[in-house]
Structure 1
Amino acid sequence: MREGSFATYEKTDRSPRADLAGEAAGLRWLGAAEKDGGLSCARVVSASTHRLVEERVFQGVPTREKARRAGAALARTHAAGAAWYGCPPPGWDGAGYAIGRSLTPVVPASAQDGARGWGAACAEWRVMPHVRAVRDDGLVDAGEARLLTRVADRMAAGDFDSPEPALVRAGGHACARIHGDLWAGNLLWAQDGTRAAATGAALIDPMASGGHAETDLAMLQLFGCAYLHDLLAAYDEASPLADGWRERVAIHQLVPVLLHCVLFGADYVGLALSIARRYA
């Protein structure tokens, strides 16, 4: 469709739990970092609970150079920062991001504790809700639920906490401003000559919140991404990652894998338990 002088893309979700205003708020929040070199984002034309209209991102083919531009720009998006782990995008008061019957909650200001690190917030607001869901669905037995809970307990104790990348820390932020669902399908390679070409790619479909920058990078590694090595290398050059980040990739993948268990069933349970055994 077209609106004014530019092409648009319309997304609708008629689910009673849908709230596309949250996705629109996330796009605006992530897009606010563009002025400081952050990744291009699909621009919101209009949004309501069940309908979102965006300026269309014209796609091109991935290249090594685009991946390097995207990696450096993603570092600057993260560096725009957030006020606390799990915080929602400004201007949105929804409970979280609903996909099917699942909910990825955000942490409202009334519930945040600035002294808590990534692991404590992630264990309470992300991991354990999914663990309860897969247990109640019969996807894991009592012993496997205890295994997953042990990992959540270690997360809550801060065993896997680590410093944010250098640019996030330099900005004095509590945590990074993350996309939250950054698999390769939500990173669109830009067509040459378009607005997004300056950063190599553009972001769509966020579940944006305050989070750890390593979570977005882990999600890109979970299902694969073109020229991933180049993207990660450029990110690390622009905003050096904390020592040992490669050993933490899988723990940052646990939440999306558990979400896939909730959404798609038993096919992902083996991977979730494999991650849990590694970190229990």
Structure 2
Amino acid sequence: MTDFLKLRKSAPDGFFAAEAAGLRWLAEPGVVSVVEVLEHGPDFLRLRRLEETGPDAEAAAAFGRDLARLHDAGAPGFGWSPAPQAFFGPLDNPFEVRAEPVGDFSGYWVEQRLRPLVTAIAGDLKGEDRAMVASAIDAIASGAFAGICGEGEEAPARVHGDLWAGNLMWTPTGVSLIDPAAHGGHRLEDLALLALFGTPFLEEIFSGYEPTHPMPAGWREDLPAHSFFALLAHIRLFGRGFLGRTVSAARSIISRAAQLDR
């Protein structure tokens, strides 16, 4: 078989169109391998089938270089989506996110991503946990994470948007991207998700990325602010089992923002 069919009869309106548009947008600069879209409809997405192999260090480093080039290809704005609608989450339970391009990362991240999720999971956030999450969001809203390590402000990057290890396909010719939530965002969104749940040869990916797009020392300390949306989304999608890790990330965000403010 030369194709792979994703099928869901009750998919939200626009879901497969958004994924198809995201894959094509990520492939457009020609700097990273992306699974090819063959056809899509309201309840299906047909893709070119990829041959899967195991991860290896050389492919990981090459992917890091390619990912930096993809991010540097840019986007029209923070929150911009290549389709009229944008989604996040697994095939069986995605939810829609706002796709309104703006010029600043902090406003996009807080108003379009974080605060809507806190509202959606209000029943799971109580007392001190709710206060800690709210304080972390206020720290992000202050602009502490608009750049990297407090240096300048990042321009909108072309990001995959859901770049956990399961959305990297290791093939005989290197890493290919699948299952995006593509949008204009901060480059650390992708790097934070690679780190959040563990990715094979993560250090090699980062070692390929940094020479291609140099990063300031200590940039990894910013990552919790950029994986915070994914953690809140996991509470929405999978329940309170992710609450402890989310609150721990909130503490790290507050501490890091205070450090950057000094």
Normalising by structure 2, what TM-score?
0.89
Contact 1:175 1:210 in 2 (8 A): yes
Q: Is residue 115 of structure 2 the alignment partner of residue 120 of structure 1?
A: no
User: Could you give the per-residue CA deviations for residues 188-221 of structure 1, whole angstroms, max 9, x where no partner exists?
Assistant: 1112xxxxx1xx2000000000001111011001
Distance 1:260 1:156 in 2: 21
Note the 1:144-155 alignment, pairs <5 A: 144-155=129-140
Contact 2:165 2:198 in 1 (8 A): yes
* Structure 1 residue 79: Cα displacement: 1.2
Q: Secondary structure at the match of 1:120?
A: helix
Aligned-residue sequence identity (percent) comes to: 35
| Aligned mate of 1:32, from 28, 40, 43 | 28
Unpaired stretches in structure 2, ≥5 consecutive residues: 255-262
User: Could you give the per-residue CA deviations for residues 98-144 of structure 1, whole angstroms, max 9, x where no partner exists?
Assistant: 65555251423xxx332x2x122101111111111221xx2121432
Greater shift, 123-132 or 155-164, is seen at: 155-164
Unpaired stretches in structure 1, ≥5 consecutive residues: 192-196
Q: Is residue 58 of structure 2 the alignment partner of residue 65 of structure 1?
A: yes
1:156 maps to which residue?
Answer: 141
1:194 maps to which residue?
Answer: none
**Alignment length (residue pairs):** 249
Distance 1:59 1:98, change over 3 A: closer
Distance 1:102 1:22, change over 3 A: closer
2:126 maps to which residue?
Answer: 141
2:259 maps to which residue?
Answer: none
1:203 maps to which residue?
Answer: 177
Q: Is residue 188 of structure 2 the alignment partner of residue 214 of structure 1?
A: yes
User: Could you give the per-residue CA deviations for residues 30-85 of structure 1, whole angstroms, max 9, x where no partner exists?
Assistant: 01122xxx210000000122110000111112111111111101111111110111
2:250 maps to which residue?
Answer: 276
Distance 1:96 1:178 in 2: 14
Q: Is residue 226 of structure 2 the alignment partner of residue 237 of structure 1?
A: no
Contact 1:17 1:98 in 2 (8 A): no
1:93 maps to which residue?
Answer: 84
Contact 1:102 1:259 in 2 (8 A): no
Q: Secondary structure at the match of 1:33?
A: coil
Distance 1:96 1:189 in 2: 24
Aligned-partner residue type, residue 235 of structure 1: Y
Normalising by structure 1, what TM-score?
0.83
Q: Secondary structure at the match of 1:78?
A: helix
Note the 1:224-263 alignment, pairs <5 A: 224-263=198-237
Q: Secondary structure at the match of 2:146?
A: coil
Contact 2:37 2:47 in 1 (8 A): yes
Q: Secondary structure at the match of 1:72?
A: helix
- The runs of at least 4 consecutive aligned structure 1 residues that moved more than 6 Å come to none
1:10 maps to which residue?
Answer: 5
Contact 2:60 2:201 in 1 (8 A): yes
Contact 1:72 1:238 in 2 (8 A): yes
